[in-house]
Amino acid sequence: MNKKTESITFNIPLELSQELDRLSLEIAKDKQKMMTEALNMYLAYQELSLQQKPMEDENNKPLSADEFFDDLDI
């Protein structure tokens, strides 16, 4: 089954690009696949944020995206 794809061009900070290159080599995973997975995770987080009750910590404080992903330990 062929999935439709679209080419998108955007700029990211040089340091982030270098980190992506390094990690891609280290884990032997295609950069495009890594970016697609990261975007899917971010979009899932944003969808959760749009629900009535935001994701919260143990003190009922809404979680930031960074805190959410840190909690996933990925």
- pLDDT tens-digit readout, 15-69: 999 999 999 999 999 999 999 999 999 898 888 777 755 566 567 777 777 777 7
- DSSP tag of 2: P
Q: Residues in the chain, how many? A: 74
Position 45 scores a pLDDT of: 83
Range of the domain at 44: 16-51+59-72
In this structure, is residue 32 part of a structural domain?
Answer: yes
Q: How many structural domains compose the chain?
A: 1
- Whether 37 is covered by a domain: the verdict is yes
4 domain residue, yes or no: no
In a domain, 6, yes or no: no
Residue 54 neighbours by CB distance under 10 Å: 13
Q: Which of 34, 30, 38 is nearest to 65 (CA)?
A: 38
Residue 31 lies in a domain: yes
In a domain, 3, yes or no: no
Rounded CA-CA distance 15/63 in Å is 25
Q: Has residue 41 been placed in a domain?
A: yes
